Structure 1
Amino acid sequence: MKTIFDKCKLGNLKLNSRIIRTGLWESQQNDLDAIYDRYERIASSGVGLITSELYSIYPKDKFIEHSYRMDNLNFMTMATKLAEITHSYDVPIFSQVEFIKYNRGIDLDIPVNDLTIEDIRKIQSDIIEAAQKLQYCDFDGIQLSVGNNFFLSKFINPYYNQREDDYGGNVLNRMRMVLELIKVMKDNLDLHVSVKVNSFDERKDGFDSSESLEACRLLEKVGADSIQVTRPLSPLYFTKKLSAEKELIDYTTKLIDSVDIPVIVGGGFNNKDHMNELLNATNIEYMSMYRPFVCENDFLKDWINGSSNQSRCMMCNNCYRTKKSTCYHF
């Protein structure tokens, strides 16, 4: 029988449990000690893998005030310390490298269809440079968001991408920028490359589940090491739609049967018994959680010792809406 606290492997990485902590916003940018303390509590709790908050590669990006800038003079010091903390508990750490807007000099927020080939190469090289920094800081992996509503997710989405060159049209062409990027990283860096992908997009003529499955097979083919399944605006989505978890679980089980690399699913989980039931009723092996770790960094300790099986997180989404790395209520 599987349990969420099984020791397991994600590719070549050894995990202390099947639980992946996913970060999002960073509201303590000016208090490194608070960040270090938060990561130590998470790493010591029984988590299997930590994925950082968003790290922004562009200083004029939409969420720059709510994420740690990679051009910050303290970034390398901070990132190296986080890797040191998590590794002291035998917990690997990934970085989320994301951006919403691509700016070309004074031209701000350039749409997908207006990118030149030089722009595409610039984005690829900027992400590769970010990955090089992370490897130097002893991070174990990088997570690219080709999901939610970040820029790369728009590039692969036919709702936004109507390009008529080699980077538009069918799924392979729309995925080309990401596939080229991953191929270069895997050929030149020693990092686990995880990719966050939308299961489907609710927009008319958007990215549907069949295209998502095809995109994931392409990601595996070029060397991606794992896939994390998500949805656009997922925290709000899981609060509003009772059927959301079933839709996501159904998609995830299909994806697991379609690829031979690890697949991680996150769906608003906050109950140990429910998560164990899903593990044993499906082919799912890994689950990610976001809001419960904001509410209480080390809540997994209570799950392990049996004093609780439910996170005290109220799933109110205030941390998501207000873009905080600390809880509104606790």
Structure 2
Amino acid sequence: MMKFMGVAAASAPATLSLNANASTNTSRSLFEETKLGTLTLKNRIVRSAASQYRATVDGDPTEDLMQVHRELAEGGVSLIITGLTYIMPEDQFGNGGTGLYDDSQIELYKKVVKNAHDHGSKIAVQLAMVGPQSNYRTDRRKVYGASKVPHPIYGTIPNQVMTKEDINFAVDAFAKAAVRAQKSGFDAIELHFAHNYLVSQFLFPYYNDRKDEYGGPIENRARFAFEIVEAVRAAVGPEFPIIAKVHGRDYLGSLAGGNTQEENLFVAKGLAERGITALDISGGNKVRGMGEFHPDIQNEKDQSYFADDAKFISDNVDVPLIVTGGNRTPKLMEEILANAKNIQAFGFGRTLLSEPDLANKWKQDPSHRPRCLACNWCIANYGTQKSQCILNASRAYIAPGH
């Protein structure tokens, strides 16, 4: 099968080097309860955030979207993290993307939560700001940015370099959306600080050439993310689970506008100090085409490609970690569990898009090989249609709005 976006892995070979002699929890299993703060999960399999493009034109969830969640819940997933959800209407990222920007949507999302709970899964909503990482309606929407730097893939140039007033407004919007999520009954929220979306762009020197207190050294570039977490934690209280999706490494290099591993660790530590419950570790960049979706990872040596980065954070930050990216083999994942004390769960995207019942299949047969080939057809068509695996492309779904 053709390997779509095959350049993606070229600049970051995935070699797992966890030290087998440093075992800390040798008996931990993929199929046992684990905890993220006050949130108890029935197993360690998490559907990582993946936008489905099944919302209405106003970003409201549909029956079609809930059908996707039902299949995942019935398929054995312990926690569903929804796709990217915009928190203000002027930051809408695409047709069919979900939004949680108004109190009137709370009743709709209560149905989303009940749907997941009734079918056996916990559910979290991922809150984000998109900024220039989308070319959707750029002639109509306010494209916020850290600086006036064109996006290297979309070519989108921010038309609103964020002022201090804009930043304060955005921080408040995150806090209000978090309260809406809490009132909707979500079990947790995830703040998207990765993958070169807006908050991630503040962290990246490539996108951030500001001269104020939000630019320059990492202490300044991390300020926006830190302020968001502080505001969200104050809004939802001390116990409600807040996850942050962050990079372990971006594989760009500081000379090319990236962060060092130590700078990313500074961010992780700062989030933990400000009350984050758990960190979802991903990585990569969208500057040189090295994204978070490595193609052709059939061999174990190419899988779980952010595990070493997560172990580095696990050794230095005492919060639960989810590791997202290329997880394909239960035996390998249990080796990772044995060697990194704070890794508690694994995130899955493409595999569950192809097989929403993968968790149940693995529980019955740990040697089951996922049918996802990491061909990246789903990624190559991301945002242009409803998200689906090419192997499921003939399946009929209810149209958005019906």
Same fold (TM over 0.5): yes
Report the equivalent of 2:245: 196
Shift of 1:77: 3.8
Amino acid at match of 1:295: S
Shift of 1:134: 0.8
The question of 1:111 aligning with 2:142 is answered: no
Report the equivalent of 1:9: 35
Assess if the C-alpha contact under 8 Å between 1:5 and 1:46 holds in 2.
no
The question of 1:238 aligning with 2:238 is answered: no
Counterpart mapping for 1:126-275 below 5 A? 126-190=173-237, 191-203=240-252, 204-231=256-283, 232=285, 237-239=293-295, 245=303, 248-275=306-333
Shift of 1:221: 0.6
TM-score relative to the length of structure 1: 0.89
Report the equivalent of 2:369: 310
TM-score relative to the length of structure 2: 0.74
Shift of 1:245: 4.9
Change (3 A) 1:240 1:156: farther
What is the DSSP-based 3-state SS (H/G/I as helix, E as strand, rest coil) of the residue aligned with 2:306? helix
Separation in 1 of the partners of 2:329 and 2:337? 13
Assess if the C-alpha contact under 8 Å between 1:52 and 1:94 holds in 2.
yes
Change (3 A) 1:25 1:104: closer
Out of 338, 347, 356, the position equivalent to 1:288 is 347
Report the equivalent of 2:95: 65
Unmatched segments (≥5 aa) in structure 1: none
Amino acid at match of 1:98: A
Shift of 1:321: 2.0
Change (3 A) 1:170 1:73: closer
* Sequence identity percentage: 25
Assess if the C-alpha contact under 8 Å between 2:303 and 2:327 holds in 1.
no
Change (3 A) 1:303 1:64: same
Out of 52, 62, 72, the position equivalent to 1:42 is 72
Shift of 1:183: 1.2
Assess if the C-alpha contact under 8 Å between 2:84 and 2:127 holds in 1.
yes
Change (3 A) 1:105 1:119: farther
What is the DSSP-based 3-state SS (H/G/I as helix, E as strand, rest coil) of the residue aligned with 1:149? coil
What is the DSSP-based 3-state SS (H/G/I as helix, E as strand, rest coil) of the residue aligned with 2:81? strand
Separation in 2 of the partners of 1:136 and 1:256? 32
Unmatched segments (≥5 aa) in structure 2: 1-26, 148-160, 393-402
Change (3 A) 1:130 1:5: same
Moved more, 273-282 or 51-60: 273-282
Assess if the C-alpha contact under 8 Å between 1:155 and 1:174 holds in 2.
yes
Separation in 2 of the partners of 1:106 and 1:310? 45
Separation in 2 of the partners of 1:326 and 1:256? 33
Separation in 2 of the partners of 1:79 and 1:312? 32
Change (3 A) 1:318 1:178: same
What is the DSSP-based 3-state SS (H/G/I as helix, E as strand, rest coil) of the residue aligned with 2:389? coil
Shift of 1:124: 0.8
Assess if the C-alpha contact under 8 Å between 1:27 and 1:326 holds in 2.
no
What is the DSSP-based 3-state SS (H/G/I as helix, E as strand, rest coil) of the residue aligned with 1:83? helix
Out of 164, 167, 187, the position equivalent to 1:120 is 167
Assess if the C-alpha contact under 8 Å between 2:296 and 2:374 holds in 1.
no
Change (3 A) 1:255 1:104: same
What is the DSSP-based 3-state SS (H/G/I as helix, E as strand, rest coil) of the residue aligned with 1:329? helix
The structure with the greater share of residues assigned to helix is 1
Shift of 1:105: 11
Q: Relative contact order (alpha carbons < 8 A, sep ≥ 6): 1 or 2 greater?
A: 2
Report the equivalent of 1:84: 114
Change (3 A) 1:130 1:104: farther
Number of equivalences: 330
Moved more, 211-220 or 261-270: 261-270
Change (3 A) 1:260 1:315: same
Moved more, 68-77 or 47-56: 68-77
Amino acid at match of 1:42: L
Assess if the C-alpha contact under 8 Å between 1:63 and 1:100 holds in 2.
yes
Shift of 1:107: 7.7
Q: Structure 1 stretches (4+) deviating beyond 6 angstroms?
A: 102-107, 240-244
Shift of 1:319: 1.7
Report the equivalent of 2:48: 22
Change (3 A) 1:128 1:36: same
